Structures are given as C-alpha cells and as structure tokens.
Amino acid sequence: MDDVARKTEVSPIDGTPEKRLFWSIISDYDLQTGICELIDNAIDIWTSSQRARELRIDIALDPIRQIISVTDNAGGVSSDSLRLLVVPGGSSNDPSGKSIGIFGVGSKRASIALGEHVEIRTRKGNGISSQIDVTKDWLENEDWEIPVYSIPPIKARSTTVEISQLRSPFSQEDIDRIADRLGEIYSLFISRKCQIRVNNRVIKSQKFDKWAYPPGQEPQKITFKVEAADKKIVTVEIVAGLIRDRDPELDNYGAYFYCNDRLIVKELKAREVGYFVSSEAGVPHPDASLCRAIVKLNGAAQAMPWTSNKTGINYAHPIFQELQSILRPLVSHFSKLSRRTKNDWAENVFPHTKGTISKQQAPTSGSSLKLVLPELPKVRKLQAEKLKQKNRKQILEQPWTLGLVESISLIEIITRQKLDTKNRAALLLLDSNFEIALKEFIINRQDLFPHSQFSDRHIKELFKRRDDVIGAITNHVPIPEATLKRIGHYYKVRNKLIHERATVDITDTDIKNFRKAVEQVLKKLFSLKF
C-alpha cells in the first residue's frame, strides 16, 4: 500500500496500435469467414436501425477477375463515422446489445485478410457518397491518416466493399460451397426480411429443425436465463430430439449453436457436449445419428461464448459452462434413443413428421435443473435372437431346425434394406428354406420315412419333382390346400426368375404372403413358432 501511495507519474507512452495488428490476423480468415464478417457488419447496422426495411446483401464473386464485392442497403456510414471503417476497435455497436460483430475489427481485418486492395464506398441515407481505399502501401506506412474521397452518388443507404489483389484465389466450386453455407449461417435472418444474393442467386434459408415425433419420445425444449459475470443476461433455448433429415455421408447430427440468431457451429460432436463419454452420448457412430440438439443464445454480444472469428464455441466460457449441464443429458438421452430404435427408424421414427415439442420446466439457473426425460425403450433383441428364444425347446429337440428359424430372420433383415432387388433375394431364400424344410422332415422323421425305403439314392430321385416330395409328406401331415397352392404359385415365380428371359416384378405383398405360407408349413412339420 505504501508503494502504491508513493507512485509518481512520469512521461506517458504512446498507446496507438501499430498496423502490424492487421497482418497478425490474416491467417484467421478464409473466403467464407471473411465474407461472413462483412455480412455481420451489414446486419448489425440494419439491426441498429430497428430493421425498418428489408435488408438486401448482394455478394459478387468473380472467379475470372478474382474480385470480391459485397453491397448492402443497411443504411450506410455517415461522414463523421468513416474512421470506424479503419480504426481497430472502432465500432458503432453497443457491446451490451444483441449484435453479431462486437470486436470492432471484424469487417476491417476480414477485408484486409482477403486482399491487398480494398475499396469501401458508402452513403448514409440520402447524404453524400464517400470512398476509402485501404491499400498495401497504407498498411505498410505507420501513419494512420487515410484519404476520404467524394464520389458520384451511389444508392442511398448503401455500402459496397470491393476487394481485389486477393491473397488466395477462389474457384466456382468455392462459390457454390459458400452460397450453400450462407443459407445455413443466416437462416434465421433470411426468414426475417433479410435477403442475401450470391452472383444473383437468392440464398434460401436452411434450417435444421427437421424433427421426428415418435409417440412418447418427442423432442424436448427448455428455455432459461443465465447471468453473465458483468450482470448481462443471456437467454438460452435448447431443443433436442430425433431428426428426419439424417444424411449418413454428411454426419449431420450433434449439437448446433446459434448466437444472436447467427449459426456459429453445427454438427458438433465433442466431449464437452456429451460425446466420447461412455455414460452419455458415447463415441459418435451412425447408430446415434438421429440425435440433434439446437442451442440458441440471445443477449449481450460480449457475453456470447463464440470464438473471435465466430466459427467455434469457447468451452471455457461461463455461459457455456452454465448450459452444459442441461445440454449433455439431452444429447445423451437422444443418442441412446437413436441407438435403441435403429432397427425401426423407417417404421417408427421417420413417418412421425408432425407433433408437439415437449417443454421442460425452466430452472432459475442452468446448473440447478433436474431434467425429467421420457423413459428410454428397452433394448430390442434382434429378430434372430427373438425367434431362437421363442423356439428354444424345438431347436434343442430338433437341432436341424436352427437354420430354418434363422433363415426366416434373414428375410426380416433383407426386407429392411434399401435395395432395389431385395424382394427377389427374399423370394429365393424363402423358396430355398421351404425345400430344405421338406428334406429335413423326410430325413429326420425315420418313423414315417424309414431309411430302408428312403435311401440317399431314393431321396435324390424323389427331389427331382417337388410335387412328389409334397405328396409324400402330406400322406402323413395334412397341410392346407390353400397354403400349398400359394407356395406353388411363388415356386413358379422363382422358376421364371431362374429359367426365363423376362424379369419378374416381386412386391412387398408377395414376400409377406409367401413368408406366411412357408411359416405355416414349418409350424406343421416342426411345431415352430413365429
């Protein structure tokens, strides 16, 4: 305390930042992140004017001339605020407001990161039109003064940023990728009077709320408020559930984060949201690929847990720490649900396209919530295991029936596959299973077919004509004529597949009817249960 009391002011030092500040952040930006910063800036200006009119942002990407141009009608920059376009940290945004560009260097450093020559033309309302050129020469000179040019009138309330002499070239493929990505990042703005165009292509909103509503396992929603360290309040909304737009190639599941309506990250599968934890969501796997959690944060920009270039989440941020205790159990629950229903997605998940999202009770703070989630369905045994369990006694007494039971289980597996010829494979397997069943019955029922009369040579001759085999068996075991007639019909279909030139169309109903008939015969011959 004495040392502090005795401190004496000496000559001040110059705290003006050096322009190398700009060079140090060039590596933080690529074409997409740079363009997004310019869009963010336009949206913030539009928001500050209460979004009085529709916002239009036109992005022109010329892969031949390698020029980037971004034009918006957000309102323009007044002559007395032009310095904000170049001064690091200069921003008209209120950091306590719900903006998406708080760092005061975003659009500046993004432009400079993309190219060596940046021209900024702006017109506040119907006022004068001005231009500033940020060039390599200006950046290499430590003088911060920059010329402002008066130019012929441009569109009222507009700003254009044109970037040339690019640091990295881009292709048409890059343009297409970015156009699609912008539809995801700004989907919530596009739905609210904001139009974004890329080379005259209107960008469509791409949302991720394609929920499935299986009865008793509907998506869960919870909304609560979290107080940041500086007393700023952030509203958190989390919706988690099973999805209908699963894409196995894209792995489009996991956690999605929006901060002040801007998508920050999607398909997040990190330990911090519950993955790679055996007791929670576990290792990311296609079996769990129907689980999605959408987190929306709204509040003071300075309280958002985004990274500085808004492409990731800061896991150490207090706001994320608060919501983590709610997010992880939700991701865990629906990942487990996805796994437990994996054999029934087509029948019991995807068809449920409409329903109501279940609302969880909001806590007073994120960490105090006790989620009440639906009971997970019991793990279903595979069809083969279920059938074998049901026929345990029969298989124990008649071991030759195991293959007959498992073949019926294979029909179930085949018919669930997304194969164009699955019904053909199922029909051939059913017919083969039926014929093997006849052989097993004759061989193993020596009380009815003694070996002295049914030697291997005799059986080989008998099986040259299926009608003779069926006749020999029905002399001892009555099988309904309708059942045999149905099996005979599909035997002819099978022969057409094998011996005739034309391709036979086999429907799902055909397989269902044929399977039922074969199962009836197996019941009669071996007392099997299905």
pLDDT digits (tens, 9 = 90+) for 49-63: 888 899 999 999 999
Beta carbons of 293 and 273 less than 8 angstroms apart: yes
Taking Cα atoms as reference points, which of 207, 321, 202 lies closest to residue 266?
A: 207
Expressed in angstroms, the distance from the first to the final Cα of the chain is 88
Token pair 């997040």 in the structure block, residue: 268
Q: Report the alpha-carbon distance of residue 311 to residue 419 in Å, rounded.
A: 39
Does domain 220-363 sit in CATH 3.90.25?
Answer: no
The DSSP symbol for 276 reads: T
Q: Report the alpha-carbon distance of residue 381 to residue 387 in Å, rounded.
A: 10
Beta carbons of 152 and 129 less than 8 angstroms apart: yes
pLDDT score of 366:
45
- Alpha-carbon torsion angle 217, 219, 220, 226, nearest 10: 160
pLDDT score of 98:
79
Quick: pLDDT tens for 121-152: 999 999 999 999 988 888 888 888 888 999 99
C-alpha pair distances (Å), 411 with each of 204, 267, 342, 380, 504: 43, 35, 18, 18, 19
Beta carbons of 187 and 105 less than 8 angstroms apart: no
pLDDT score of 412:
83
pLDDT score of 332:
96
pLDDT score of 104:
43
Q: Report the alpha-carbon distance of residue 443 to residue 446 in Å, rounded.
A: 7
Kindly tell me the number of DSSP H helices and DSSP E strands found in the chain: 16, 14
20-202: CATH superfamily: Histidine kinase-like ATPase, C-terminal domain (3.30.565.10)
Taking Cα atoms as reference points, which of 388, 268, 387 lies closest to residue 328?
A: 268
Q: Is the pTM of this model over 0.95?
A: no
pLDDT score of 102:
53
Which residues fall within 8 angstroms of residue 332, CB to CB, at 6 or more apart?
A: 274, 277, 279, 280, 281
pLDDT score of 105:
45
Q: How many CB atoms lie within 10 A of CB 50?
A: 7
Beta carbons of 441 and 473 less than 8 angstroms apart: yes
Beta pairing class for 67-72 and 159-166: antiparallel
For 142, left (φ over 0), alpha (ψ -120 to 50), or beta? Answer: alpha
Q: Report the alpha-carbon distance of residue 269 to residue 265 in Å, rounded.
A: 11
pLDDT score of 27:
73
Q: Report the alpha-carbon distance of residue 311 to residue 304 in Å, rounded.
A: 12
Paired tokens of 440: 């097993």
pLDDT score of 187:
97
pLDDT score of 15:
65
Residues of the chain with pLDDT under 50: 90, 103-105, 366-367
The DSSP symbol for 248 reads: T
